[in-house]
Amino acid sequence: MPEISTFYGIKVTMYYSDHNPPHFHVEYGSSKALINIKTSSVLVGSLPMKQLKMVLAWCEIHQAELLENWDLAAQNQPLKRIPPLI
């Protein structure tokens, strides 16, 4: 599972040929969640509130890049790194 970004201890990854809707995976410590790219909302799992707010803000800022990576992943193409939240 390619890592596309990391910030503040949060690891963001995306699977190749994953199921719809377009989403990415997030890990922070032992917490894990799947985030819907188009709605910037949690599909499954949970994160501590502070980290969740950062991830959702990052998702909104980088929505176009995340959707581009989703399309690349569907075609089994290399994914692009996305700048971290700073």
Burial letters 1-38, b for 16+ CB under 10 A, else e: eeebbebeebebebeeebeeebbbbbbbeeeebbbbbe
The total number of structural domains that make up the chain? 1
pLDDT greater than 90 at residue 2: yes
In a domain, 79, yes or no: no
pLDDT greater than 90 at residue 17: no
pLDDT score, position 1: 78
Outline where DSSP puts E strands in the chain.
3-7, 10-13, 23-28, 31-36, 41-45
Residue 33 · residue 24 · CB < 8 Å: no
In a domain, 80, yes or no: no
In a domain, 18, yes or no: yes
Range of the domain at 52: 3-74
In a domain, 54, yes or no: yes
Q: What is the pTM of this model?
A: 0.95
In a domain, 33, yes or no: yes
In a domain, 47, yes or no: yes
pLDDT tens-digit readout, 62-73: 999 999 999 999
